[in-house]
Copies of this chain bind each other. A is one copy, B any other.
Amino acid sequence: MSEIPPPPVQPLRERDGKVELLDQTLLPDKERWIHIETVEQMREAIQSLRIRGAPAIGIAAAYGLAIAASNSDVTATSNLLADLDAAGARLASARPTAVNLGWAVKRVLGHVASTTYGSTEALRDAVWTEARAIMSEDLNMCRRIGLAGAELLQGGSVLTHCNTGGLATAGYGTALATIFMAHALGQDIHVYIDETRPLLQGARLNTWELSKAGIQSTLITDNMAATVLARGDVQAAVVGADRVAANGDVANKIGTLGVAILARHYDVPFYVAIPTSTIDFDCPDGRGIPIEERAPAEVLEFRGARTAAAGTEVYNPAFDVTPAELVSAIITEHGVIRPPYRENLAKLKR
Contact = CB atoms under 8 A, between A and B. Distances in A.
B217 A254 contact: no
A223 B317 CA distance: 10
Contacts of A317: 224, 227
Contacts of A225: 258
Given A219-B312, A224-B255, A258-B262, A307 B195 contact: yes
Given A198-B221, A219-B313, A306-B29, A265 B261 contact: yes
A314 B254 contact: no
Given A302-B307, A307-B204, A254 B221 contact: yes
Given A218-B315, A314-B218, A315-B218, A309 B223 contact: no
Interface residues of A, number: 55
Contact of A226 (B192, B258, B300): B258
Contacts of A219: 299-300, 307-308, 312-315
Contacts of A198: 221
Contact of A303 (B204, B218, B265, B302): B302
A262 B218 CA distance: 24
B223 A194 contact: yes
Given A307-B302, A309-B207, A320 B262 contact: no
A305 B307 contact: no
Contacts of A223: 161, 194, 196-197, 222-223, 254-255, 258
Interface string A281-318: 00000000000000000011011111111001111110
Contacts of A307: 195, 200, 203-204, 219, 302-303
A228 interface: yes
B302 A305 contact: yes
A216 interface: yes
A29 B315 CA distance: 21
Contact of A320 (B217, B226, B306): B226
Interface in A240-295: 254-255, 257-258, 261-262, 264-265
Nearest to A317: B227
Contacts of A207: 308-309, 312
Interface of A: 28-29, 161, 192, 194-198, 200, 203-204, 207-208, 211, 216-228, 230, 254-255, 257-258, 261-262, 264-265, 299-300, 302-309, 312-317, 320-321
15 contacts: A29-B309, A195-B197, A195-B299, A200-B307, A203-B299, A203-B308, A207-B309, A219-B315, A223-B254, A224-B320, A227-B257, A227-B317, A230-B320, A265-B265, A303-B305
- The 3 A-B residue pairs whose C-beta atoms are closest, nearest first, are A223-B255, A303-B305, A226-B258
